[in-house]
Amino acid sequence: MIVTLTLNPSLDRTLGLQSLRRGEVLRATSARIDPGGKGVNVTRVLRAFDVDSHAVIPCAGPDGEELVRLLQKAGVPVTEVPVAGWTRSNITLVEADGRSTKVNAPGGALTGEEVALLADTVVDRCVSQGIENAPASWAVLSGSLPPGVPDGVYANLTSVFAEHGVRVAVDTSGAALVAALDAGPDLVKPNRQELAAAVGTPLNSIADVVAAAEKLLSRGVKAVLASLGADGAVLVDSAGAVLGTADPIDPVSTVGAGDAMLAGFLAAGARGEKALIEGMAWARAAVGLPGSQMPGPADVSREGIRVVRDPGGKPAGAVRLADDG
């Protein structure tokens, strides 16, 4: 069982455009509304592959009710915790050439009592699914923090869940990511920019990425899965480093690709080359779909994905990353 906690979920509204021209009145060529939020996306894609997963979210106002309705309609298991604020709506503008511009709303504030109730709900979901007999169970803590929530919330939650024998994956950025490192999560999944910010140095090559991930391991993190966009992904854990690369594809939308990568990696056992390949395959499938749509088995191909072990210690480790990471 994989339980996801999204403290700042959203309705994701996606509009298709021929091109984005500032200051003009534009006509959308398409429109769709999807459930949003990184943890929500992880559960959505896991359920599409028949992997047991359950989403826990705060819920407030009409947009929160619509979010829950969309998840239930899609057959996604969800437990909503009523809160006093509001559920945000995000807007993504997708141009005909695949470029995406996303505007994320801040979301409603959460009180300490509401965060504690959400944490209790995650623990309850894990225990109710027989965590003692399911050592592979995970709690996924992902996404941005709503206003007023302290940066250390994911660190605190990591400790709480670890006390209940639940493995923890953290996918966030900035101060929240840095604070979570010392709590020793089982997995963190930064992108290139987030990893660079966490270690305070630019990452210009695969060797730089491996070295940065090893710094996170030195702080207690057990594994780092770094997504690098068109440059692939790097996995670093106690077994060493593995680089995954893939043949280029024409992107339709990059929204949710990192969430699909995390879901595929966890679904495949969260360790080693097989899990890395699966995560990359799910991410590539997501890139080929519009808006925040999540892939299913029919969308996934593992062809063209290659892995190199110990890329930081071989000539491949010196390869420079593309500017767009």
**Active-site residue list:** 259
Half-sphere exposure of 261 (CA within 13 A, CB side): 29
What are the angstrom distances between the C-alpha of 303 and each of 229, 281, 298, 300? 17, 8, 14, 9
Pairing label, strands 10-17, 30-36: antiparallel
Count the alpha carbons within 13 Å of 123 in the hemisphere toward its beta carbon: 15
Structure tokens at 191: 């992108």
What is the C-alpha to C-alpha distance for residues 289 and 253, in angstroms, rounded to an integer?
A: 6
Two tokens at 201? Answer: 């140095």
**Are 46 and 82 in contact, with CB atoms under 8 Å apart?**
no
Burial (Cβ within 10 Å: 0-12, 13-18, ≥19) of residue 149:
buried
**What is the chain's Cα-based Rg?**
19
User: Which H, E and C letters describe 198-242, residue by residue?
Assistant: HHCCCCCEHHHHHHHHHHHHHCCCCEEEEECHHHCEEEEECCEEE
Helix (H) or strand (E) holding 308: strand 305-309
Rounded to 5 degrees, φ, ψ at 55 are -95, 135
Task: Count CB neighbours of 91 within 10 A.
Answer: 15
CB 173 within 8 A of CB 194: yes
* Nearest-angstrom CA–CA distance, 114 and 103: 26
